[in-house]
């Protein structure tokens, strides 16, 4: 929606980057703090179950309201920054970031990885706009992403059930 309205991909992508970085940094800090209170086995089980939950959530497509308008006179960057930050609160990627930060001690790597993943997912749509987004096989993409979350979930659950000695 923002790409189609503003037709300025770089400020939009910068807004996505800044909003995602802030959002995932907060999620990562929360996850890292929660991770301190859990044993490795419990943590693996929680992360595994959350990844399978994410797999199921991926099957429900995100929707945008067509009548939603970005901030009135604000530029593409500010409109994207605010809209994207708010839209991502409690979203799949933020929940995944919390789970990963709880499981792994390198907070910077977790936040960098989830932020990079978000940019990779959004950059094609931002640069190629609405025409490209309407041609993407969204359902197939959601099924593949869901499958990857299931695989990750199973790996963590197996680690919880059979911890290394």
pTM recorded for the entire structure: 0.71
Contact 83, 2 (CB under 8 A): yes
Retrieve residue 119's tokens.
Answer: 């940019």
**Domain ranges, ordered by start, for the chain:** 2-62+74-161
SS3 82: helix
pLDDT tens digits, 45-88? 988 898 898 888 878 765 544 444 444 445 889 989 998 898 88
User: Cα torsion at 86, 92, 98, 102 (round to 10°)?
Assistant: 180
Q: What backbone phi and psi angles, to 5 degrees, belong to 11?
A: -65, -35
> Which of the four pLDDT bands, split at 50, 70 and 90, describes residue 110?
very high
User: What b/e sequence results for 22-44 when a residue is b if at least 16 CB atoms lie within 10 Å of its CB, and e otherwise?
Assistant: bbbbbbbeebbeebeeeeeeebb
At residue 87, the pLDDT reads 84
> Which of the four pLDDT bands, split at 50, 70 and 90, describes residue 164?
confident
pLDDT tens digits, 85-101? 988 888 888 888 999 99
């Amino acid at each position: 929606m923002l790409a189609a309205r503003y037709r300025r991909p770089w400020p939009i992508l910068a807004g996505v980057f800044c909003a995602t970085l802030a959002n995932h940094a907060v999620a990562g800090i929360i996850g890292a703090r929660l991770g301190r209170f859990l044993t490795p086995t419990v943590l693996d089980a929680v992360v595994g179950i959350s990844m399978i939950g994410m797999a199921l959530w991926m099957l429900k497509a995100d929707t945008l309201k067509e009548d939603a308008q970005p901030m009135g006179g604000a530029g593409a960057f500010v409109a994207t920054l605010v809209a994207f930050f708010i839209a991502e609160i409690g979203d799949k990627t933020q929940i995944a970031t919390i789970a990963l930060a709880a499981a792994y001690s390198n907070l910077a790597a977790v936040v960098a990885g989830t932020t990079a993943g978000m940019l990779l997912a959004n950059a094609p749509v931002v640069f190629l706009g609405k025409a490209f987004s309407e041609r993407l096989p969204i359902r197939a993409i959601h099924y593949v992403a869901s499958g990857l979350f299931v695989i990750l979930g199973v790996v963590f659950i197996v680690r919880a059930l059979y911890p290394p000695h």
